[in-house]
Amino acid sequence: MRTRSVALLSAIVVLASTLGMSADVKSQQKTQIKLEGMLGSVAGMFGGKAVKEGTVTTVAIKGNRRMSTTDTTAELIDLDAEKVYRLDLRGKTYTVKTFAELRAEFQKAMAKGQPEAASEKSEKSDGKQPEMEIDVDIKKTGQKKPIAGFSCEQVIMTLTVHEKGKTVDDAGGMIMTSDIWMAPKNAALQENVAFEMKYLEKLYGKMAAPTARDMTQAMAMYPGMKTAMERMQKEGHQLDGTPMLTAMTMAGAAAPGGSNSEAKKDSGGGGTSPIPAGLGGLFGKKKKPEPAAEGTAAGAGAKTRATIMTTVTEVLSIDSTVAAGDVEIPAGFKQK
């Protein structure tokens, strides 16, 4: 939950500047996710081409229909018919669900998760959970380079979650760094986010959209998020444009001299961890503390940071020409 909440905060300002008018557009982007530690090793061995080389997705939007296609699967969303089609390109079959069916599944999942949320709330009310705060830093580096034919400028955004009154290296925490190459605002690429917002609103309603729900949960977990959001809005002008290439690195920092505190908690000890429960051993072994500098107390300032995962998303092409067949189920496909 903490990882998801911080990731949401990182994305929200970038997405907020990408809403546009309705227009036809076809774009192609490549996404690659690299996991660290044991899970990363397993993914590397069994994840296949998608893990090793990334996934290329073609997104075609025409009117109120959007088709998202990879090399093996596709998804067609029809806002007017209120249906979602999921295609198996190899087997030439597809399934279809109505928005009503998807809403029912969502409500069932939420009801199932309520006991867990209540337990989590009870745990946080026992006084053992420290208050967390979020620091936000957005800087333009002045570096420029062309991507997909567009002149882009580099922006580095860093979010740091840590215990209030302490640094991330003093008490542990989470650090998310986004290396973003921004092009001038591109109306075509804005369409995908605009379509997604219309889809979520029509599927769940304005107040029930996942983004709104997640923000409420995130605000409750991190009281300092409101301040962070205000700062992001103030500095958000530096993100005014369209992200063409984003490399996001998420890292956890454990308190110096200690093992993953979730392990302590599982064995009966107290404490909190910057890395979500159960992920410490999977996403990377804790690094040994760096030697303390001369003239400092032993262990003071020692850093125990470990990368959890890295994601890279790059826009490969943009085309304003979309044929009717680009947002239709191909001939010969059968419904399962």
Digit-coded pLDDT (tens) for 301-321? 335 678 888 999 999 999 888
3-class SS of residue 144? strand
Tell whether the model's pLDDT for residue 295 goes beyond 70.
Answer: no
What is the number of domains present in the chain? 1
60, 26 Cβ separation under 8 angstroms: yes
Q: Domain of 302?
A: 2-335
Supply 308's token pair.
């959890």
- Paired with 254 in beta bridges are 304
pLDDT of amino acid 196: 87
Q: What is the pTM of this model?
A: 0.66
56, 63 Cβ separation under 8 angstroms: no
pLDDT of amino acid 128: 61
Percentage, residues of the chain above pLDDT 90: 31
Tell whether the model's pLDDT for residue 70 goes beyond 90.
Answer: yes
Q: pLDDT tier at 236 (50, 70, 90 boundaries)?
A: low
Q: pLDDT tier at 251 (50, 70, 90 boundaries)?
A: confident
The rounded distance, in Å, linking the Cα atoms of 217 and 211 is 10
Q: Where are the beta strands (DSSP E) in the chain?
A: 25-35, 55-62, 65-69, 73-78, 83-88, 93-98, 132-147, 150-163, 173-183, 242-254, 304-319, 334-335
The rounded distance, in Å, linking the Cα atoms of 86 and 335 is 10
Percentage, residues of the chain above pLDDT 70: 59
Across all residues in the chain, what is the average pLDDT?
73
pLDDT of amino acid 191: 85
Highest mean pLDDT among 15-24, 154-163, 201-210: 154-163
